[in-house]
Structure 1
């Protein structure tokens, strides 16, 4: 079997979801090929096919067009089929020409499955799988279902008609996609992110001192709810709780300045540390020394960071939104708080801080055991094999 996976870029070393999936399929004799807009030099797991280049220079772009359409000549049956499918969708001639060029790397493929790693990656390529005689699969991962359709209503109307099978990282995202028009008759599978337990730093009991170390791993973006967490830290300080709050991640200049100004205005410069973006290994080492992990997001498809925090036995608090209630078992492997409420988060933090060692250890143990049992790489791989009907 040959599977083509469409992503914007080849996955980085830390992107275990895609890397483990590709490696697992290869180990089971599947021919996996990646179709991307760019390739990292250190990626050598499987063959990579780069999408046609786009240039602002009209002469250079004309040359790219001629070159790409020449390379498509041996694949004329697929190209003609694609053009006919697009004409049925009432796509205009110039738009068909443009889409044929942009999808040239896919139209040359000989695949059994064409799997788009995000729903947004399938936009503009909805009929390609049909044109090349492959089955079309799409993954729902978060932004593609939570945010993109808000800005672009009905953007997936054509996509819903072409999908053969759906993969979602959470029940929440799948149900939201159905609300956006996906037919409930289309087969779907929930395959959550998984944790490579053996690569994580071993569980460390935090130092027994008066200063609580709290950590969040997130982009400095509005949807991550960092303003909620920062405001909660102000409440902790007012209640004479000694703590440090480390935020690991970066973002655009506007959001970064906004959060840093908020910290300054609330008098939290001594407590809140912006660590910036760190390598995955350094991020995990940072997390291993934390007392509490906080995920204050306004929405999440599932959230790998929350899963890794639990896998490392960290006391984890997250907002009760999106796929997070599927990630955490409230009051057993961690705690959920009312979204967008800094008061609710502060109250939950104070409750966790006041727990005795035995109670904290019980939650840590529950979290580690659940992740090891339910969110391991082996289980994820078995589910993907079943997804492609290989089991």
Structure 2
């Protein structure tokens, strides 16, 4: 295939729409190549670009049977060999239900034959490696989040699958240098892993204003799902320490409800009912103005790739206190772009928050300005999309 020719790129997460980062990637790549989105539709989604094609796998089984039947017939006339590949690959699964579900997902991909299959979640790697032998598809795997840092450490079989399959992947995309290091530990080679940072849309940077003077009541906010890896129990202990020192504080957690019972119990046990606020999901267009009403953004996580919410906080000028986990040290530099503390350390969290509270306005504005400039340079859409395009071009250069 000639360099710079339009490619068919499958950006696959399994559901449509996907995460905000993946949606930004889809829109950016579609300006240059044809993007295929395979999977189930979780929410009605419209893309205003002719280069984006949704290839749905219906969730209602009767409809799925009909749609898959038609696709199978088309694939039979196009390539009986590939239809046979779909059958044989589906039969490697144990139950009839699993076999059917896999078959109904394999057929549309083999029918459209993307040049590149960009898989977003490492756990699903074993399902799609067969595409390489089926018709020479190039497999790109993104490395992010708990799929790399947490899951293989808790699941011996998954870890072994990474050792077995990572050497077979055509190329990797890592969201941080830390993720790249993890990939190398499972057998990926250094020249086969490209670190490309998260894409932040230009509109985010338009919300930037210099940090304001901290209010008498210190308003702290965190954003993220209710999950042990987000470290909220350590954040709550830090808030307890601040309250015990006589600091007026409120702590707002923005996440989709319901709030877990153990968290509600802990808040009651620490006597924090009067200072902790739970805010249900905030729409993206309202999130940044809302975040600007707070004094500090707190990331208490035990593990992250690079947390998008921290990048967004830095982009809009909100001071950040983050744990030193995953790729966070790549963006949060003490005394330059924010405050970095050890994981599982409420005392260090509380101390850093007090430092933010006591930092003179001019210095606080300098730190948040530096943070804004850093993410604008390293995480802007134009440059990072170009890196993805170069990655796709490189991996298909010898495509036959």
CA drift of 1:54 comes to: 7.1
Question: Which one of 35, 41, 46 corresponds to residue 43 of structure 1?
Answer: 46
Unaligned regions of 5+ residues in structure 2, if any? 1-6
The answer as to whether partners of 2:57 and 2:104 remain within 8 angstroms in 1 is: no
Find out whether 1:136 has 2:136 as its counterpart: no
Q: TM-score, normalised by structure 2?
A: 0.86
1:103 maps to what in 2?
A: 106
Aligned partners of 1:93, 1:83: CA distance in 2, in Å? Answer: 13
Counterparts in 2 of 1:264 and 1:107: CA distance versus 1, 3 Å: same
Question: Which one of 70, 73, 90 corresponds to residue 73 of structure 2?
Answer: 70
1:32 maps to what in 2?
A: 35
2:4 maps to what in 1?
A: none
CA drift of 1:336 comes to: 0.7
Question: Which one of 195, 202, 214 corresponds to residue 200 of structure 2?
Answer: 195
Aligned partners of 1:304, 1:339: CA distance in 2, in Å? Answer: 18
Aligned partners of 1:240, 1:193: CA distance in 2, in Å? Answer: 39
Unaligned regions of 5+ residues in structure 1, if any? none
Counterparts in 2 of 1:361 and 1:171: CA distance versus 1, 3 Å: same
Which gives a bigger RCO, structure 1 or 2 (Cα 8 Å, sep 6+)?
2
The answer as to whether partners of 1:197 and 1:376 remain within 8 angstroms in 2 is: yes
CA drift of 1:202 comes to: 3.7
Counterparts in 2 of 1:256 and 1:284: CA distance versus 1, 3 Å: farther
**What is the aligned-residue RMSD (CA, Å)?**
2.8
CA drift of 1:20 comes to: 2.6
User: In structure 2, the residue corresponding to 1:72 is in which secondary structure?
Assistant: helix
CA drift of 1:331 comes to: 2.2
2:333 maps to what in 1?
A: 329
CA drift of 1:310 comes to: 0.7
User: In structure 2, the residue corresponding to 1:321 is in which secondary structure?
Assistant: coil
Ranges of 4+ aligned residues in structure 1 off by more than 6 Å = 60-65, 92-96
Aligned partners of 2:339, 2:382: CA distance in 1, in Å? Answer: 27
Aligned partners of 1:269, 1:238: CA distance in 2, in Å? Answer: 14
Aligned partners of 2:196, 2:130: CA distance in 1, in Å? Answer: 25
User: C-alpha offsets along residues 40-94 of structure 1, whole Å, 9 cap, x if unaligned?
Assistant: 3232241111236574x9xx9877775554343123222345677x59xx94798
User: In structure 2, the residue corresponding to 1:27 is in which secondary structure?
Assistant: coil
User: C-alpha offsets along residues 95-138 of structure 1, whole Å, 9 cap, x if unaligned?
Assistant: 89654444111111222111112222333222124313211111
User: C-alpha offsets along residues 20-45 of structure 1, whole Å, 9 cap, x if unaligned?
Assistant: 322222222x1111112225323224
Where do residues 210-221 of structure 1 align in structure 2 (5 Å cutoff)? 210-221=216-227
1:121 maps to what in 2?
A: 124
